[in-house]
Structure 1
Amino acid sequence: MALRPLRSLICTGVLACWLPAFAGEAYEPPLRPGPFTSDAASFRQYRAPDWFRDAKFGIWSHWGPQAVPRAGDWYARNMYLEGHPQYEHHLKHYGHPSRAGYKDIIPLWKAERFDPDALMALYVKAGAKYFVSMGVHHDNFDLWNSRYHSWNAVRMGPHRDIVGAWQQAARKHGLPFGVSEHLGASYAWLAPSHGHDKTGPLAGVPYDGADPAYQELYHPAHDEGLHSNLDNWYATSPAWHEEWFKRISDLIDTYHPDLLYSDGGLPFGKVGRTLLANYYNGNMARHGGRLTAVYNHKAQGSGDTSDAGVLDVERGVLSGIHPQPWQTDTSIGDWFYSDGYHYKSTAEVIHMLADIVSKNGNLLINVVQYPDGSLPPESRRFLDEMAAWIQPNGEAIYGTRPWKVYGEGPTETAAGAMKESAAYTAQDIRFTTRGNAVYAITLGVPVKEVVIRSLGKGAAYAGGPVRSVRLLGSKARLRWTQREDALVVTLPSRLPTAHAAALKIELSAP
């Protein structure tokens, strides 16, 4: 079915005029002039900018109407899966989805305590060097004053430009600003809203997503993504490809983000490549021919190569030093606020950060917000504890590069998406470097001494005799000896920070 225009005809920026694409007709998006094109080979010239490589640690606001039920991620889909815990939650608190659906959750998201400037000050203090705002999740609700979609945060819910408010706060505090788009999967992801119960008193009564009056939110009726395992992440509808292109182009042209994140691979073949080429070309035009933009994408999706941007690994890490910069994205709790959810400890996050940075990666972490925009106590505690650690130890993180080996120790780290937990010990050490200095970060709190086998005189990585050793955050003079088998450092009786210790080791040669 052709998509209907939501407003009067608009022809600005890289956006083409809003003309409906008919079923089966491939959409040909407009290309902005520049060195990048819709040809996949053109992205082989991409290099991650230095600001991203130096930043190492970013904070994300993965927040929107799905926080309202306080029942966790994917609520807008799972509430339509009969028997699912979120379906049962919806029945209990809001009514049956044949009568009260996700459209009725959206007006309840008021964001009445959302103070982006105050939050950004906390994020900067906690060490964030870039910030990412969600632009649109799979729920098909835009968090900005969308030109092509009336279900947006300015017209409904908080009646506020959430993305714009975050951007203003990030710029005020000097942080590069990013946006995340999860829209590509929405067409298939929301398909269960067109279904109905199979059993019970309302068996066969269509859910509210089947009402044609709400197809702009729930999409036209179709068969893609109807199964609970979501076999087809990216739908094949040309009309949907056109809508995705125009809405995400609108997001890019309005906010000119330093970073764009797609929740999946670069979608929709040539359509996705054209949008990305426009993003890069537009960024270069605004920066005198210099490319400063970052595109985060995952390994799955359209089949395009990782040349397109920076590889992102959701809730996981890589096994060794990756030749190109990459990123882990994760959350300290559930992706959307969930009552009773187990949060990561600050120690877990610090250990992840050190492990990721040692392997040439960045960590982007969602700090969970209540539906009203304020912080749960777990989020506030994390920010305060992170600030206490990063301020004396940030030298070992920011602006560093991987050393000859990423680390040593007894604990094996599982690699890949959704594999982020590891029971590290103080004997697990991760290395970063800058100039002639090697930083050794313990993934635990050491007692009395640190033994670093990779810096023994006989080690293949040693790089010459050790000249000095200093404990970051401490003025204490350390006793140390470089034996044949290891560098052994005796620690002061009191360490300057909890969770992990960082040693700065000056070598006579890099």
Structure 2
Amino acid sequence: MNRRKLIQSLSLGLPAILLSSKLSALAINRDAAKEFVEKILAGPFSPTWESLSNYQTPEWFRDAKFGMWAHWGPQCQPEAGDWYARNMYMEGNWKYKYHVEKYGHPSKFGFKDVINIWKAEKWDPEALVSLYKSAGAKYFMALANHHDNLDLYDSKYQKNWNSVKQGPKKDIIGGWAAAAKKHGLPFAVSVHAAHTWSWFETAQRADKTGPLAGVPYDGTLTKKDGKGKWWDGLDPQELYAQNHELSKNSEDDGMIHKQWHWGNGVTPPSKAYIDKFFNRTIDLIDKYRPDMIYFDDSQFPMWPISDAGLKIAAHMYNKSIKDNGKLTAVITGKILTQEQRKAMVWDIERGQSNSIEPLPWQTDTCIGDWHYDRGIYDRKAYKTPKTIIHTLVDVVSKNGNLMLNIPVRGDGTIDELERKIVEEIGIWMNANGDSIYGTRPWKIFGEGPAQNQAAALTAQGFNEGKGKPFSQQDIRFTTKGNALFATVMAWPTDGSVLITSLAVDSSSYPQKINSVQLVATGQELKFERNADGLKVYFPDVMPSAAYANPLRIV
């Protein structure tokens, strides 16, 4: 029956108020059906690889070079490191043992219950973003959701399992976005929830040994099981998404990595699951207008089993053009072909390229574990400021950016060791940032022994710390305007350094050298140039935080 005939039928003998309520219900149902799958914004980009390959990385991202990330959510509450919500359901895993001791058995106290006790009671987004800006960050990123599937914003489609309704009862992304805007930083979000489907399959398990052997964990609970519990009226399946058959070899804890491409026997996600992820992400983009999205996916999320990720990208690019008059949006993905790198920015996790990349790219890494780990704090095992600065200088010389995560405790604070590291990074950045911000790669990225022993990339990255440490013989180059920056990766112990790439007959730099300055102080340095290279004499007094020492050469 069409709408006109239904109205005629309803109007026969019905009181006006009843007719009005019937028509209102009809309108609501019609709108709900219309909104079940969000519409993508029309514009120059279509949801195809061919169309998206016309993408051009915006200049703000290329100039920024250094961003900081709050990879923070309910998995930080136990202070036991990354992938807690998956590993707590792995019998024998140390996080399982930790969970049983701290909270109880996962059949009785599951991850939904961890969410319930996460309160973020000391979270001050403005203070943290202010700190990160003072340390030299030129953009800021916040976790919008992780594989644990809790949306950390006022989510229209994950309406019962989000941080406004559960846990802290706060709009986490809204708070971060406001703080970034106040401090004039482009705002990025990271989205990881595409893989909840298979990542959370461990929650379907049960112990194989012990007094609770065979008792299912809480990953298969449904709404009817919540009667009389704190989650009465909530459906755990909206969080866990485990109302499906296990993937092939699901009992193999490492299989998830081999199935990240949605292959190798993974149980295919349902259309409803894919649609919901799509809707949630479009809602996130429209509501908070991020400048950048980091996807923890091999390419765009759900590819190649669905074009949902392509649609999200087309929507974000078109929205950016509509809102800003030009394309300013950035989207990152991890394991990309050369062609796919034209459609989005290549992100390397915990590693870096070993050559100058023709297109801008990004390294993402962390001073500790992605989610806060108290053990790293206790062992004083964070990365040092020197390590971070060396990574930044090396990445920038190869046309990349560095996104650095500072783990946040469950209560919303960072510890004093982390704060000291951030402040030390800031000392170096404030003195030497001219050699980083707004620069572009030179003809070669560097010289020295470290590049000859660099480790190859594995999967999405993971080659950091595997090469030879940098020394005073290692130099990294960048350019800006008429200046060439040569960063000496350690303070020379003998008072001078020889840069062989700048020998008098160098084809890379045939022009005359008139001046060499130490960027940190602006001091003019004595130098000699001959067939062996450019020899630069360093001052007797070493500046603060001399982890790496840029020279401005003109």
Q: Shorter-chain TM-score category?
A: over 0.9
Query: CA distance change for structure 1 residues 280 and 321 in 2, over 3 Å: closer, same or farther?
Result: same
1:282 aligns with 2:319: yes
The whole-number CA distance in structure 1 between the counterparts of 2:309 and 2:211 is 44
The whole-number CA distance in structure 2 between the counterparts of 1:16 and 1:201 is 50
Does the aligned pair in 1 maintain the 2:336–2:346 contact within 8 Å?
no
- Is the partner of 1:356 in helix, strand or coil? helix
Query: CA distance change for structure 1 residues 406 and 413 in 2, over 3 Å: closer, same or farther?
Result: same
Task: Identify unmatched segments of 5+ residues in structure 1.
Answer: 1-7, 20-28
Number of equivalenced pairs: 486
Q: Percent identity?
A: 45
- CA drift of 1:154 comes to 0.7
1:179 aligns with 189
The whole-number CA distance in structure 2 between the counterparts of 1:9 and 1:495 is 71
1:261 aligns with 2:291: no
2:244 aligns with 222
Does the aligned pair in 2 maintain the 1:37–1:277 contact within 8 Å?
yes
1:429 aligns with 2:475: yes
- Is the partner of 1:120 in helix, strand or coil? helix
Question: Aligned to 2:407, which of 347, 368, 371?
Answer: 368
Query: CA distance change for structure 1 residues 281 and 494 in 2, over 3 Å: closer, same or farther?
Result: same
2:538 aligns with 491
- CA drift of 1:88 comes to 0.7
The whole-number CA distance in structure 2 between the counterparts of 1:463 and 1:140 is 56
1:135 aligns with 144
- CA drift of 1:477 comes to 3.2
Stretch of structure 1 that moved more, 415-424 or 49-58: 415-424
- CA drift of 1:300 comes to 6.0
The whole-number CA distance in structure 1 between the counterparts of 2:339 and 2:117 is 39
The whole-number CA distance in structure 2 between the counterparts of 1:131 and 1:329 is 12
- CA drift of 1:62 comes to 0.1
- Map 1:51-200 onto structure 2 (within 5 A): 51-149=60-158, 150-200=160-210
Does the aligned pair in 2 maintain the 1:474–1:495 contact within 8 Å?
no
The whole-number CA distance in structure 1 between the counterparts of 2:178 and 2:462 is 33
Stretch of structure 1 that moved more, 258-267 or 55-64: 258-267
Q: AA paired with 1:238?
A: K
1:18 aligns with 36
The whole-number CA distance in structure 1 between the counterparts of 2:455 and 2:31 is 49
1:239 aligns with 2:272: yes
The whole-number CA distance in structure 1 between the counterparts of 2:339 and 2:89 is 32
1:308 aligns with 2:343: yes
Relative to its length, the structure with more helix (as a share) is 2
Q: TM-score, normalised by structure 1?
A: 0.92
The whole-number CA distance in structure 1 between the counterparts of 2:417 and 2:487 is 25
Task: Identify unmatched segments of 5+ residues in structure 2.
Answer: 1-27, 224-235, 263-267
- CA drift of 1:371 comes to 1.2
Question: Aligned to 1:454, which of 483, 494, 501?
Answer: 501
1:413 aligns with 2:454: yes
- Is the partner of 1:403 in helix, strand or coil? coil
- CA drift of 1:304 comes to 8.1
- CA drift of 1:16 comes to 5.3
Does the aligned pair in 2 maintain the 1:107–1:156 contact within 8 Å?
yes
- CA drift of 1:378 comes to 2.2
Query: CA distance change for structure 1 residues 246 and 419 in 2, over 3 Å: closer, same or farther?
Result: same
- CA drift of 1:110 comes to 1.0
1:292 aligns with 328
- CA drift of 1:450 comes to 1.7
Q: AA paired with 1:490?
A: Y
Q: TM-score, normalised by structure 2?
A: 0.85
1:24 aligns with none
Does the aligned pair in 1 maintain the 2:80–2:375 contact within 8 Å?
no
Does the aligned pair in 2 maintain the 1:469–1:480 contact within 8 Å?
yes
- Map 1:328-407 onto structure 2 (within 5 A): 328-341=363-376, 342-407=381-446
- CA drift of 1:236 comes to 3.4
Q: AA paired with 1:384?
A: E
The whole-number CA distance in structure 2 between the counterparts of 1:402 and 1:103 is 47
- Is the partner of 1:402 in helix, strand or coil? coil
Q: AA paired with 1:17?
A: E
1:128-178 CA deviation, whole Å, 9 max, x = no partner?
Answer: 000001100000011001111111111111111010100000000000001
Does the aligned pair in 2 maintain the 1:78–1:84 contact within 8 Å?
yes
The whole-number CA distance in structure 1 between the counterparts of 2:426 and 2:316 is 34
Stretch of structure 1 that moved more, 208-217 or 55-64: 208-217
Q: AA paired with 1:162?
A: I
Q: CA RMSD in A?
A: 1.8
- Is the partner of 1:451 in helix, strand or coil? strand
- Decide which structure has the larger Cα Rg and report it: 2
2:230 aligns with none
1:196-243 CA deviation, whole Å, 9 max, x = no partner?
Answer: 111111111110111112111111422345331214234432221111
Q: AA paired with 1:245?
A: F
- Is the partner of 2:401 in helix, strand or coil? strand
Query: CA distance change for structure 1 residues 304 and 459 in 2, over 3 Å: closer, same or farther?
Result: closer
